[in-house]
Amino acid sequence: MAIRPKLAFVEYLLPHSRDELRWFTALSVTAGVCEELLYRGFLFWVLKAYVGTALAALIGVILFGALHLYQGRRGAFKAGMAGLVMMIIVLLTGWLFPAMVVHALVDLGAGVLGFTVLAPLRDQH
């Protein structure tokens, strides 16, 4: 399958069993809520008071991406771009909740995709 090699660098993060998928689902919701509260909520709010909206948003996006370097440079860049999208959602709506929902759904989708793609490997063991 062509997608499996693309997931190799994050395979260790993805759910491999139904039990792990249940935990990953909870983790996805937690990440969606907590990361949005921290980066697009608290951090943005504090920085905005000192450096303005645009620079606060940029700093938050860069920091969010950098803190995902454990996924490699490409993964960190993708996380940064996802953070940018979440920041735009927050700026356009003036509300964290839509970004929290989108973030959780994106993470959950990645987990379900990984679980599905890794199923043939699971079934061989």
Residues 6+ apart with CB under 8 A from 106: 82
Residue 86 counted as domain residue? yes
Residue 40 counted as domain residue? yes
pTM of the model: 0.87
Q: What is the pLDDT of residue 2?
A: 78
Residue 21 counted as domain residue? no
Q: Which domain range does residue 61 map to?
A: 27-104
Residue 56 counted as domain residue? yes
Which of 10-14, 70-74, 98-102, 121-125 has the highest average model confidence (pLDDT)?
98-102
- How many domains in the chain? 1
Residue 4 counted as domain residue? no
DSSP state of 125: -
Residues 6+ apart with CB under 8 A from 69: 75, 76
Residue 12 counted as domain residue? no
Model confidence over 23-74: pLDDT tens digits? 999 999 999 999 999 999 999 999 999 999 999 999 999 999 999 999 889 9
Model confidence over 73-118: pLDDT tens digits? 998 999 999 999 999 999 999 999 999 999 999 999 999 998 998 8
- Residue 36 buriedness (CB in 10 A; 0-12 / 13-18 / 19+): buried
Residue 57 identity (one-letter amino acid): A
Residue 87 counted as domain residue? yes
Answer yes or no: are the C-beta atoms of 61 and 84 closer than 8 Å. yes
